[in-house]
Structure formats: C-alpha cells, structure tokens
Chains A and B, each alone.
Chain A
Amino acid sequence: MLALIGRRVLIALPTLFLVALFVFALQRALPGDPFLVIAGEERDPEVIAKLREIYRMDDPIFVQFFAWLGQVVQGDFGRSLRTGVPVLGLIWQKLGVTVQLAVASMIVAVGIGLPAGIIAARRKDTLADYTASAVALFGLSVPHFWLGIMLILVVSVELKWLPASGFESIFVDPKASIERLIMPAFVLGGGLAAFIMRHTRSAMLEVLRSDYVRTARAKGLDEDTVVNRHALRNALVPIITLSTLLFGELLAGAVLTEQVFTIPGFGKLIIDAVFNRDYGVVQGVVLCTAIGFILMNLLADVLYVLVNPRLRSG
C-alpha cells in the first residue's frame, strides 16, 4: 500500500510543475494590467512604476516564474496584491469553508442518492423506480444559480425559515453553521444525489443478477440480508470511487453556489482574484486545486483497495 502511495506521489510531481508553469504563463498572457487596477482611481504613474518594481514585473517572465516557484517550494505563496493578506493563509481559510460546504453537500448527495438508488434497483420498473428516476433527472438538469435564488426567495425571504446567505464555521457555532449550510448543500448536493442514485441503481442491478446473489438466495437467506450483507458491499466499490472523485469535483465546482449564497470559500476567492488580476492568489489557488485533485484520486484508489480485498494483492 505504501509503495502504491509513494509511486503515485512521484508521478504527481512533474504534473504539478507543469500545472504551475501553465498557470503562470497563462496568467501573464491575460490582457489587462493589474497595477492599473491596484493603483486606484487616481492611477499615479509613479505609484504604478513602484508597484511593478516591488512585484518584479519588469524581470523576464522565466525569472519571475522560478523566483515564485522557489518561494512556493519553501511554503511561501506571497501576498494578495489586493488586500495584502498572505496567500497561503487565505487558501487555508477558504479551503476550510469550502470543505465544510463540500462535506455537507456530500452528506446530502449520498444520503439521498444511495437509498434512492437501492430502492429503485430493488423495485425495478415500479412506480418507486420511475419516481426516483424522474426526480434524479430534475436534480441533474436544474441550474444551481436559479435553484439557489429560488430557495433564498421562498425559504428565507417569504417563509423566514433559514438565513439567506453567509457562512459560519461548524467548529465555532454549529447551529448557525448548519442553518446556513442547509440550502447551499441541498443545491450543490442535489445534482450529485441524482448522479449517485443512477449509478447505485445500475450497480445494484448488476450485482443482484450475479451468481453469488443467486446462491445466497438459494441458501434461503431473506431478501434484506441478501441485499444489505452481500450485494451492497460489492455494489459500493464503484460508488465509493465515484464519490471521492465527485468530492474533488465539489471542491472545484462550488463556485456558483458560493456566489449565490455569498459563502466566502474557494470558488469566490478565485472568481474575485481573476477579476482583480490578483496574480499570487490565482496561482496559489490553481496549484492547490491541482494538489487537491491528485490527493482525491489517490484516496479513491486506496479506498477502492480497502473495500474490495481482491484487489489488495495487486
């Protein structure tokens, strides 16, 4: 297992280097001068020149790149051009927010998707199956932005059941945190629930048709035991892989949901950073997202092996 992890980490390093290079180059190729924006409304040429000097903008681009990379390797991602806050601290702070949102969304997604998929598979071609499929299709096709605004207008403004937006850490104020996470988690997790439901359904159907399930039934075991003890365990393998990948997807895909519910997470951070040409923040965020994806893939593989012992030898 350790060898597997080690091998994967080694492969990841050149990937990360390429990502860093790519982002850096792309960022510099963007039109627009951040210092014109940062120098403020007055745009004093003297100030702009000074800022360019401070940020070494007049050096050749590869000199800038390796200077930046050198700092990053030492754990220094620089400071935000816009607010003067250290980038790494910012990323940790925002990551904490988005991970909480992603976990909540995952709970919604799995909590709805998994049981719905199992029920749909066990009652194939009945009303329950059709209903679950129809709801899933709806969940997949509704745009996050629209659903978010509708929820705010109905649940917060009209019914006044939940706060309209914002974020509170679960570790600081659990009640306020949960209240604020319900709607965004539902919006973000709803679409994924549909995805998980469809995959659970097909995986279960496949397993329920297999020989060992027939054997188990032939032994005279009751249907619940067959499904829960024998079938589900094997059907879970592809679903766990899918879920971990989806979790990575969630981290990156929370952008719109965070925008609607004004959750100060990773997605909002990157949108604002791109619009403000906040170089250091964009580079830091993209690099960390890449690292996140690589870790998620690794985790998926490890879980895969853990859940399915047959793969352990390989």
Chain B
Amino acid sequence: MKLLTTLASAGLLALAALPVAAQTPSTLRVGLQEDPDMLDPHKARTFVGRIVFKGLCDKLLDITPELKLVPRLATEWSFSADGLTLTMKLRTDAKFHDGDVFNAEAAKANLERARTLPDSLRKSELASVDSIETPDASTIVMKLKRPDATLLAQLTDRAGMMLAPKSLSGDVATKPVCSGPYKFVERVQNDRIVLEKFKEHWEAANYHFDRIIYRSIPDTTVRLANLRAGELDILERLAPTDVKSAQADKSIKVMSVANLGYQGITINTNNGDGAKQPMGMDKRVRQALSLSIDRKVLNDAVFDGLYEPIIQPFNPGNPYLSAEFPVPARDVAKAKALLKEAGLSKVSVELFVTNNPVQAQVGQVIQAMAQETGIDVQVRSTEFASQLRDQQQGKFQMSLIGWSGRIDPDGNLHQFVTTKGNQNDGKYSNAEVDKALDEARTIYDVAGRKRHYDAAQKFLQDELPIVYLYNDKRYFALRANLQGFVINPDGMIRLSGLKRQ
C-alpha cells in the first residue's frame, strides 16, 4: 500500500511539473471537414488542401472577396496587344523557407514542373502556356499558344504556388518547402497539420499567430462541439442544421458567404444506353423536371432556408449572371403540358445520389415534387467513387452532383457542357455552345466575355443538360474573440490580419 501511495504521489508531481500543453496564446487552431491529400500543390486535388496551402505557400496572385485580382508574388502584370504574351513583374524581397531567394528562375522552375510533371493535376490549368522566359531576375514572360482569359485566375491558386527550387526533386508531398507566411512543421495523417511562422516572410508583420494547427474533424457536430469547448478557434463548413444553435452561443460568431460553385442534376443526354430514355432524349421532359421543382421549398426543407435557389452555374452576385434567366416559379400545369406535348403521360427515371443523409434528402424532395407532374424519380444512392465512375461511363440517367466552383466563369461551364469537356459526363454536344464558350476564353474584358456566356446560356437553359438547383453557401464559425477574419467566396481561410483579442 505504501508503495502505491508513493507511486501515485510521484505520478501526480510529475504531471504537475509538466509544461502547460499546446495552447499557448499564439496558436490558431483551425477545424477542417476532411483531411487534405498530398501537400504538393502540383498534385493536390482537395478543397481542404487549398485551405492549408493558403498558410504554407505564396502564389503569384490572389483574389479579393469581390473576386478582383491582387498582387502577391507578382507585383504587376500585363498582356500584349495580341493577347499572346503575359509579362509579370515579381517581388524581390520574397524568400523560401529553406532560405533561398525567390526570383524569376524559381518561378519558371515551378511553372515548368506544374505543366510537365507526368502526374501533375495542373496541366490543364496551364495548357495555354507555350514557353516561359526570364529576361531578368524579377520578370517572367509567358508565351501563350492562344489568348487565355482564364490564366490569371489559375495563378491565384495551386498552379501559381511557388515551391523552393531545391525541394522540387525531394519528397514534396510530405515535406513541402514553400515561401508562404508559415512553414511546414509536421503532419499526422487524419489528425493535424502544424505550421510555424516564417519570420523572414515579406509580409510577416501581418501574421499574428506563431503556430497554426489544422485539425480534420469530419463529423460536423463534433467539429462544432470542439469550437464551443474552446478546442478550436475557427471551423469551416458549418452544417446548415447547426447554424441556429451556433448563432445562439454568445462565445461564437457565425459568418457566411455565397460559394463559387453550384449543386445540380447532371442529365445523361448522349452517353450510351443511359441516355436512351425520355429524360435524355427530349428536352421538354427536362424542362418539365426543372419546372416541377420548387427550389425554395427544397431549400427550406433540407437546408433550413439557408441556401440560395439558383438556375445558372454562377453564384448569386456573380458578374456573369444573366438577368434573362431568373429562378423559375414551380409550375405543375406547365410541366404536365410539356410532358403531354412530348407525347408522354408518365416518365420513369433514375437519379443517382451520393450516400450521405443530406444528398438522400435532396433526392427525396425532388422525387416528391416530380411525382406530382408525372415524373417518377427513383432515387439510387451509392458512395462517391462509384457514382463518379458510373457517371463517367454513361451508366446513369440523372446524377445529383455539385461543383466547388472557380473564380473564372470558364471553370464552372466549359468542361461540363462543351463536346470534349473532361467532365461532360452526359456527353451533351451543341456546336453553338462550344463556339461561344471557346471564344469566351480568348476575351480579356468582362462585358465582352459576358456576351458569349449569355449566348451559351440561351441554349443551355433551353436544353438543360444540367438542371441547377441551389448554391450551397459556406458557413464559418469562429470564437467571438477572433478578429480580422475576411470571408471570401472561394471558401479559404486567409491568415493575414487574424488575431485574438
């Protein structure tokens, strides 16, 4: 017994003598919905990965909440008159985490890696680049194969991120060396990624935390519980069902912004046997489906009325939205008339949804609404990897699927509806749409581009290869004492200016 008592008291003493754990005042703890994939900007693919890169890697350009381009590593930029040359001036005071200086050579090495590495995922983003020149240490010149209005937007994200040249031959995915405001310290897969302040960063004065810990907590309830318990300072993607309870908590702030993407139904119009049914073959049936859905009720039923109904591939407030296509009111009579016109009294169609409760609910609400107009929707739920594969192989009739969105309008349309688009799983094909969207890529001014998107939308809104449903607004929750969070429709967490009161 005596031994036990001695041991116990020794243990207690040891515990008391330990340093206070992890929670020094200058650590920012961020809750992520998933664990990021590779930490190599040229190979990474996940949305959450981009959030981590915001702290780790600087890029050539950035965007403001209004989607305007602003300088980062590139201080100024211009296109030549023929639109075939992009010249960028670079910062001269930027450094990589290994101490090397950032210059045009380094930028060139990165861009070359991004567009030539066999398994680079940035290739298509930089496909218009023909060659890269470095006339001097602070200038980089990109020669283009064709004018490319989407290029600058690509350089605001992973394609424009800069890794230390010496690290390029090493294991980038697990030990990234960049030039961002924070350096990589460690990663515990499925748990956390730790970054530490890079004191030599050119903008170091704007970053007030010494350490950043990103923790992946997939369960939304548990993620919120962690925030409320003071274990996190900020979290991304608060579930709509949790918004009310978070708002009621005085120690927490909730912020939201329309996200750049969309959620909708992709319809198989032309991809194998799956297209050979009334929904795939006759646009009137698709119009009837769209008219039978009350987007507002859908949003009220599943998302507590927090998401916004849409019918175009752009987020509310986007400069490329067309006034010509307002969100239609539900019209059962007209939907029935359209079916009748198509010579049908009843249509039966299958809808793929991802096997999570929210998607299943969306599917069920659509099913109930479509039923009333004579469209019998059978909801089939599978997990995401299978859904993607079947969709690509044309083994589907309709698929409920979303898109996280891009800053540039091209990223929300071109690959989904042009004949050769990588993600055109329904194999929709319309020469006029192809032409309008291809041309829109080559025009640098907004008004001129918009005319081409409007022209494309005229066909798309009539033929409906994709029926857009809602914009899944992004909700962030943060501790009330966290100041300086600038919310941006790209859904990223920018660390600049963040501080604890």
Contacts and interface: CB of A to CB of B under 8 A. Distances in A.
Contacts of B46: 40
B22 A176 contact: yes
Contacts of A85: 173-174, 189
A131 to B, nearest CB: 27
A39 interface: yes
A44 B118 CA distance: 12
B264 to A, nearest CB: 15
Given A50-B119, A165-B222, A93 B189 contact: yes
Interface in A24-47: 31-34, 36-47
B173 A84 contact: yes
B268 to A, nearest CB: 17
B225 interface: yes
Contacts of B120: 47
Interface in B7-24: 14-15, 18, 21-22
Interface in B360-415: 382-386, 388-390, 392, 403-404, 415
A269 B189 contact: yes
Contacts of A33: 385, 388-389, 392
Contacts of B219: 259-260, 262
Interface residues of A, number: 56
A164 B231 CA distance: 7
B399 to A, nearest CB: 13
A100 to B, nearest CB: 13
A56 to B, nearest CB: 14
B38 A83 contact: yes
Interface in A154-201: 156-157, 160, 163-168, 173-176, 178
Contact of B123 (A38, A44, A277): A44
Interface in B250-308: none
A149 interface: yes
Name the residue in A33, A90, A93, A149 with the highest tally of chain B Cβ atoms < 10 Å from its Cβ: A33
Tier of interface size on chain B: 35 or more
Contact of A83 (B37, B229, B230, B403): B37
A152 B388 contact: no
Contacts of A84: 38, 40, 43, 171, 173-174
A256 to B, nearest CB: 11
B225 A264 contact: no
Given A32-B389, A36-B385, A153-B225, A166 B231 contact: yes
A40 B422 CA distance: 11
Contact of B392 (A36, A259, A275): A36
A272 interface: yes
Contacts of B40: 84
B294 to A, nearest CB: 29
A272 B35 contact: yes
A164 B46 CA distance: 26
5 contacts: A84-B38, A94-B189, A160-B230, A165-B231, A259-B219
Interface of A: 31-34, 36-47, 50-51, 54, 80, 82-85, 90, 93-94, 149, 152-153, 156-157, 160, 163-168, 173-176, 178, 259-264, 268-269, 272, 275-277
